[in-house]
Amino acid sequence: MSNGPYYQGDCECGAVTLIVTAEPLAQGRDEQGQGWLVLDAEAVQVSGGLEALENETLDDGCACSRCRHCRQRLFSEQEWLMLLPETLLPAAGPAPSDELARRLPWRLY
């Protein structure tokens, strides 16, 4: 097991479990007020419930994966970055840098 950071989070019904092995690169809120953590995509693994995931296309055209049972949005992957709802993990990060913000699928404040 790694000596680095390790976080585990579940969707609201517990059907999908994610493991994260790095600190968030950034954290912020979208225009609707939803808080998001930005992580390196390689640091995020679905450790349980892969069969419970389904894809959804958001109004802005971004793809998002959610639990088919509780319908909670779990992550969106863009350009080697993974965005997770901040309520999913007990982690925090800094505000996105200008360079990182340009790579995100939507603006975080």
109 within domain boundaries: no
pLDDT, tens only, 52-93: 999 999 887 888 999 999 999 999 988 889 999 999 988 889
> Which tens digits make up the pLDDT trace of 3-18?
778 899 999 999 999 9
Domain that holds residue 12: 7-103
- Structural domain includes residue 18: yes
Give a yes or no: residue 1 inside a domain: no
- Whether residue 108 is contained in a domain is answered as no
Look up the CATH number of the domain holding residue 30: 2.170.150.70
Domains: count for the chain:
1
Q: For residues 85 and 29, is the Cβ–Cβ distance under 8 A?
A: no
pTM: 0.85
Does 2 map to a domain? no
18 closest CA partner among 86, 88, 68, 69: 88
